[in-house]
Each structure stands twice: as C-alpha cells, then as structure tokens.
Amino acid sequence: AEDEAERNRQRFQRSSPEWGWKFRALEAEALLWRGMYPQVLTLLRSEAVPPSDKRTLVRILALEGASDARLHYFPDAERLLTEAERLCAESAEDVCGIVTVAEGVLANQRALPAQAQEYFKKSLQSARRRGDPFLEATAVLNMGASYLHEEHFDEAIDWLEMARTLSTALGAEVLALKSQGNLGWADYNLG
C-alpha cells in the first residue's frame, strides 16, 4: 500500500495537488502503521502548500499528531490535534474518528490511560455510527493496548480478542498481528 500510494502521489502531485495530498496521506498512514513516525512527519511536512480539502487536512493533522505523540513531542501533537478538533467541530467530517484515536494515543503516551480509554470509546462509537469497520477495529485494538499498559490483563484480553476477530474479518493483517502480539503478552502475564 505504501509503495502504491507513493507512486500515485508522485504521479498526481503536480497535475492534481489535491489527489497528490490524498495519496500522501495514504502513504503516511502506511508508514504510521509500520512505526516509522519520523518518516511520517518528514513526508507530511515536506510540502509547503497544505491541502484545501478539509477532510484531507483533518486526516493529515491526525496523522501528524499521532506521530508527534508517539515521539513524545507532546506540545506539537496537542497543537495539531486541537486544530483537527476545531475543523471537525465546524463540520462533521467522516474522518474525525481518527482524530479521536490520535487523541487517545496522545493520552496513552502521556500515561493517562483513563483519558485514553475515553477517547477510544468515543472513536469506537463514531466508527459504529458511521459503519467504519477499520476504525472500529483500530479503536478496539487501542482500547486493549491501553488496558494492557495498565496491567489489567483480563480486560485487555477481552478487547484484544475482539480486535483480532474484527481485524481478521476485515483482512487487516497488521491489526490482526498487533492484536495477536498483545494477546500473547497479556496471556503471558496472566501465567
């Protein structure tokens, strides 16, 4: 997905900048899932002119915010996610669920698991309301990881089993693998 997104980004970045941005966001999302946070930031910040499409802009702010959070650049992450929230408040974009996930990631990285879980629950509700199975699986996986971080292994297992089931049904292999790995860690800690 990352390679194909990169090819299409390069193909469209001059002839159709908006489509170039959409493929840039897709490429960044693939990098994010691979844990390549500095590369996400480099890719998204390498273009001087931001996209004019609000949906794409919200997605980019969420991706940058999540990457900054993972790198512990908390003020930058907070600024980006506040801007994304503001844009979401102006109009209910269907992409706003990923902003809530990114806010949960920021809370988790700041060691605020209860706050993170509230964000993940909100994202899960949004995903179910909009019929977005990938966002639902992502929110459930993050909820399980949050309980795992708190060492509430029984609760983590419940969420992670659900994440594995959802992601397997979707064919979302990265989510399924992350769910399985976290399940193994939770099982190990329960003995």
Res 145: pLDDT: 93
Most confident of 12-21, 55-64, 89-98: 55-64
Greater model confidence, 94 or 84: 84
Structure confidence at residue 11 as a pLDDT band (50, 70, 90): low
pLDDT tens digits, 93-125: 678 889 999 999 999 999 999 999 999 999 999
Helix axes 113-130, 133-149, angle to 10 degrees: 160
Q: Report the chain's mean pLDDT, rounded to a whole number.
A: 90
Q: How many CB atoms lie within 10 A of CB 42?
A: 13
Q: What percent of the chain has pLDDT over 70?
A: 91
* Both structure tokens of 23: 């493929």
Residue 147, CA atoms < 13 Å, CB-side half-sphere: 22
* Both structure tokens of 158: 């419940």
pLDDT at 80 over 90: yes
Res 16: pLDDT: 64
Q: CB under 8 Å to 163, separation ≥6 — which residues?
A: 137, 140, 141, 143, 144, 175, 178, 179
Per-residue pLDDT, averaged over 12-24, amounts to 75
Q: What percent of the chain has pLDDT over 90?
A: 71
Res 14: pLDDT: 67
Res 121: pLDDT: 95
Alpha-helical (H) ranges within the chain are 2-12, 17-33, 37-45, 54-70, 74-90, 96-109, 113-130, 133-149, 153-170, 173-190
Read off the DSSP letter of residue 171: T
pLDDT at 20 over 90: no
pLDDT tens digits, 118-160: 999 999 999 999 899 999 999 999 999 999 989 999 999 999 9
pLDDT tens digits, 166-179: 999 999 998 999 99
CA 106/CA 151 separation, integer angstroms: 19
